Amino acid sequence: MIDIKLIRENRDLVKENIKKKFQDEKLPLVDEVYELDKKVREVQVKMDSMKADKNKLSGEIGKLMKDGKKDEAEKVKEEIAKNGEEIKALEEEMVDLQAKIKDIMMVIPQIIDDSVPIGKDDTENVEVQRFGDPVVPDYEIPYHADIIERVGGMDKEAAGRTSGQGFYFLLGDIARLHEAMIAYARDYMIDAGFTYAIPPFMIHSDVVTGVMSFPEMEAMMYKIEGEDLYLIGTSEHSMIGKFKDQIIKDSELPIHMTSYSPCFRKEGGSHGLEERGLYRVHQFEKQEMIVICEPEDSMEWYEKMWKLTVDLFRNMDIPVRQLECCSGDLADLKVKSCDVEAWSPRQQKYFEVGSCSTLGDAQARRLGIRKKGEKGTYYLHTLNNTVVATPRGLIALIENNYQEDGSIKIPKALQPYMGGKEKIMPVK
């Protein structure tokens, strides 16, 4: 959510930003909110004037009574009562106007960074750089679900019976490898200086609307029937929500935390081969990182954060690339975002395994995350980034470490979490 002052002072900038995001249908909203805001200020001036008159009249009553002018005092009381009714009506009008402004402001996109490439959708995202050589071995890489089944590591049929499509049982060494990735990611982030946390896995609706746009919420999140609670789609939501309505002390900044959680997503529209495997599922686990910092430090943190994910995947012998998200692919709250994509030797292309974003003060403004300093009270900046999410990270790990004999090589970084095991062998 942008600052209303920006619309007061530079509507053209806000409109140009909307055009860059190819959301021209939102252009009239800028003028609409401008006029509503102007009306709010007019009502406020009128209300302040009437309250001043009311206070002045109230002061006259005692004097009139003292002078024995009871009739005149009664007339003043009637005038005060009338004045009070008009003030109440103005206050109600003010509440209505402010609610309309908030509703509109929630859908006007955040001002994107000048460095964001302009494009309509994810097909126009820009590859920035690659890390590690993408290798295609001279033997066939089977579909990941087939590899996992051959080592006795998955049962989706049983999951269908217990939970339906989009769920899975991971078994044996594959389940252990899955958890090894999460445990390694946790320790890796702790070593990088981040505070480890396990957050609530359900959050209130005001936190949901504080951290994401309504269309995203509807597309992603599961609501608990009869409760003001949603299952989280990523632990970033809980972690940023932790600081809702807080004044952050200077000594606490920057806040940098890493969190583990299961994640729950509707994942509507998945079909075909993806349904049989682990690429699009309703439940997965994730190690996340968030940062809350001074506005001038957010871009420096953005660069640090996505590089941490790159290094983690390289430590697991997985080639990756950084892909800059174009303007049309950015969610409305984001200032700048990039994806980390892992190499798939089976498909001979990259696929997303993580996403890093700086949201400027958008989430902080919605949630009231502020700092009081020499330049007054102001909103801080928030950032988030995927450390590793399974099973997508697991798919990348399996494909890039699959051997010709059907075994899966375990990267050295994960071997301590696997009891020293170096390979997962097919079941005979």
Note the pLDDT tens digit of each residue in 6-42. Answer: 999 999 999 999 999 999 999 999 999 999 999 999 9
Q: Is the pTM of the predicted complex or chain greater than 0.75?
A: yes
Please compute the mean of the pLDDT values over residues 231-238 and round it to a whole number.
Answer: 95
Q: What is the pLDDT of residue 82?
A: 84
Interacting residues of 243 by C-beta distance below 8 A, sequence separation 6+:
255, 292, 367, 369
Residue 275, pLDDT > 80, answer no
Under 8 Å between Cβ of 325 and 340: no
pLDDT bucket at 129, cuts 50 / 70 / 90: very high
Tokens 């950084």 found at: 322
Please compute the mean of the pLDDT values over residues 365-394 and round it to a whole number.
Answer: 94
Residue 403, pLDDT > 70, answer yes
Backbone angles phi, psi at 336, to 5 degrees: -160, 145
pLDDT bucket at 212, cuts 50 / 70 / 90: confident
**pLDDT, mean over the chain:** 93
pLDDT bucket at 62, cuts 50 / 70 / 90: confident
Going by CATH, does the domain composed of 4-105 fall within 3.40.50.720?
no
Residue 59, pLDDT > 90, answer no
Please provide the DSSP assignment of 187-205 as one string: HHHHHTTPEEE---SEE-H
Sign, CA dihedral 364-365-368-372, equals positive
The CATH architecture of the domain made up of 122-424 is: 2-Layer Sandwich (3.30)
Taking every pair of Cα atoms in the chain, the longest distance, rounded to a whole number of angstroms, is: 108
Residues of the chain with CATH 1.10.287.40: 4-105
pLDDT bucket at 393, cuts 50 / 70 / 90: very high
- Measured CA to CA, the distance from residue 302 to residue 224 in angstroms comes to 33
Counts for the chain of helices (H) and strands (E), in that order: 14, 17
pLDDT (tens digit, 9 = 90+) per residue, 71-80? 788 787 888 8
**How many CA atoms does the CB half-sphere of 282 hold within 13 Å?**
16
Q: What is the pLDDT of residue 76?
A: 77
Tokens 């009664």 found at: 74
Please compute the mean of the pLDDT values over residues 378-403 and round it to a whole number.
Answer: 96
Q: What is the pLDDT of residue 222?
A: 93
Residue 272, pLDDT > 70, answer no
Q: Which of 61-75, 88-102, 217-231, 329-343 has the lowest mean pLDDT?
A: 61-75
pLDDT bucket at 58, cuts 50 / 70 / 90: confident
Residues of the chain with CATH 3.30.930.10: 122-424
Q: Which among 267, 304, 331, 277 is positioned nearest to 387, based on CA atoms?
A: 304
